Structure 1
Amino acid sequence: MRTDLPLAQELAELTARLADLLLTRESAEDAVQSLAQAAKEAIPHASGAGATLIDPRGRKTSTGATDDVVLEADRLQYEMGQGLCLSAWAEDRTQIIADIETETRWPEWTEAVSALGVRSALSTPLTAGATPIGALKVYSDKPGTFTDRDVRLLEMLARPAAVMLANVQARDAAERASAMMSEAVADRDAINLATGILMERERLGPDDALSRIISLSRLRQRALRDIAQDLVSGRPVL
């Protein structure tokens, strides 16, 4: 990323690149990985960058990182329940650490990441509409690294990125719901067919036939749909 460009032009170029990166990714996991790489390239004096999507309970759902140190710093945050990007998400505002060695917030986390060689850090929330859905962060192995320009650039980058990521999440959720619905319909049809087969073969009523399938499922410790599919296909119910 060219740092000699005016900020508005730099952001416009970066946003256009982000749209291509994020909206063409197959999953939210791929998209946050691309966003992490874009953040590191946008702030080249950062030693690593990451992006995380967080659910309303504070649990990460997707994460991307450019370097191992970022993965470890983030792992420690979620393990300890405190840290820079968790606060950026929870408070919906940018957080900055000028020097880990003198930072008094998040004492357990800062002590742990100091051992990783992290000296300064910057994180801003990913907010779609009025809802923080995650955080974007960059780390450096030098103190006092991040400037006011870096803060503005990361914040301005996070706004369109959050909207794009929310769209990717919605698409993922819709695809999962569709797949679950298709699977549920297929399971129901198989169970109905298997019930009919037992009714015909063993002269059972519908309730007794279904009870037989459920009993076989419990006895064989296999899913109900698997027992039904075996009956439909004529395979032995093992």
Structure 2
Amino acid sequence: MAVDRIRLAEGLAAIVADVPGQEGLPERLCHACLAALPVDGVGLSLMTNEHAGGRMLLGATDAAGSKIEELQFSLGEGPCVTAFSEARPVLVPDVTTDEVRLRWPAFAEQVAAAGVGSLFAFPLQVGAIGIGVLDCHRIRTGPLEEVTEALVVATAVTAALLDHQARVLSAAEVKPELIDLSWRDHAAVHQATGMVSSQLSVPTDTALARLRAHAFCEGRPLKDVAADVVARRLRFSEEDGG
């Protein structure tokens, strides 16, 4: 299938213009991407090297898409993470292969259990500067033939997000970042990271790794573990390993 670049760009720009604030924008962008590509679901994440963890879920079209994004955020590994760090598309036609299990062991096991067959991650970037990743998934396994079309969609989404940022900047006294679109969803993780950093006297990236390890060992979402830390139901120490 071919993607009409101009029509797609105009459609995404209209979505940005039609949403006065940040509420609802991520989901509408995700559904616009889904309508443009032959996939079963889409997820968007914003990424930065300036925040602890460097990644936040922006939105998804369905439960599987949300699960994929949350897993990668919680585990710190997966196609999305690799696509951003290497600034290139990462195409996974079959999430159950040995290659995938070796590359992202924790993620591969859990994403397959979620009923996902294939996953394709495309970085959102302007030149060499990345702002996030577009994840596309299918229930069935098999390659994505429409890679060129997906790259067109990723470029259009990048432009739409930057357009939204420009609109917000022009209207705000306090200058927010794109990452603020998803701050509410992961604010507890950032607060908990700071608390664990203080409890253990370690850098924030080490504190986040401890949070992730605890969540993985307990089989719980990272945001739930973070909520326990913030509510002081859970305290990390060197003696008990968190």
Shorter-chain TM range is 0.5 to 0.7
Write the distance in 2 (CA, Å) between the matches of 1:55 and 1:23: 25
Deviation at 1:123, TM superposition (A): 1.0
Q: Are residue 22 (structure 1) and residue 16 (structure 2) matched?
A: yes
Separation in 2 of the partners of 1:169 and 1:128? 14
Higher helix share: 1
Which residue matches 2:126?
A: 128
In 2 relative to 1, CA 123–28 (structure 1 residues): closer, same or farther, beyond 3 Å?
A: farther
1:81 to 67, 76, 83: 76
Q: What is the distance in 2 between the residues matched to 1:179 and 1:96?
A: 36
Q: Provide the TM-score with structure 1 as the length reference.
A: 0.64
Question: Is 1:109 matched up with 2:107?
Answer: yes
Do 1:37 and 1:49's aligned partners in 2 also have CA atoms closer than 8 Å? yes
Residue segments in structure 2 that go unaligned for 5+ positions in a row: 177-242
SS in 2 for 1:139: strand
Alignment match, 2:44: 51
Determine which of 56, 72, 91 is the counterpart of 1:96: 91
Q: Is the 1:100–1:120 Cα contact (8 Å) retained in structure 2?
A: yes
Structure 2 counterpart SS, 1:101 = coil
**Matches of 2:86 and 2:23, distance apart in 1:** 24
Q: Distance in 1 between the 2:175 and 2:90 partners?
A: 39
Which string of whole-angstrom CA distances, capped at 9 and with x for unpartnered residues, describes residues 1-60 of structure 1?
A: xx3xxx36x33322221121234323456333222111211123x121111222224533
Whichever residue aligns with residue 93 of structure 1, its letter is: R
Tell me, yes or no, if the aligned pair for 2:57 and 2:70 is still in contact at 8 Å. no
Identical residues among aligned pairs (%): 29
Q: 1:28 & 1:151 partners in 2: Cα distance? A: 29
What is the match of residue 155 of structure 2?
159
* Alignment check: 8 A CA contact 1:27 1:168 kept: no
Distance 1:165 1:155 in 2: 15
- Please give the per-residue CA displacement for 1:110-152, whole angstroms capped at 9, x wherever unaligned: 11100000110111011134310001111011010411xx211
Residue 36 of structure 2: aligned partner: 42
Shift of 1:166: 1.8
TM-score, normalisation: structure 2: 0.63
Task: Kindly report the root-mean-square deviation, in angstroms, between the aligned alpha carbons of the 2 structures.
Answer: 2.3
Q: Which whole-Å CA distance do the structure 2 matches of 1:158 and 1:135 have between them?
A: 8
Change (3 A) 1:114 1:163: same
Inter-CA distance 62–15: structure 2 relative to 1 (3 Å threshold): same
Q: Which has the higher contact order (CA 8 A, sep 6+)?
A: 2
Aligned partners of 2:165 and 2:75: how far apart in 1?
Answer: 26
Deviation at 1:174, TM superposition (A): 5.4
Q: Distance in 1 between matches of 2:164 and 2:55?
A: 16
Unaligned runs of 5+ in 1: 181-238
Q: Are the structure 2 counterparts of residues 106 and 173 from structure 1 closer, same or farther at C-alpha, using a change threshold of 3 Å? A: farther
Q: Determine the C-alpha separation between the residues in 2 that align with 1:86 and 1:174.
A: 31
What is the alpha-carbon distance in structure 2 between the residues aligned to residue 29 and residue 56 of structure 1?
A: 25
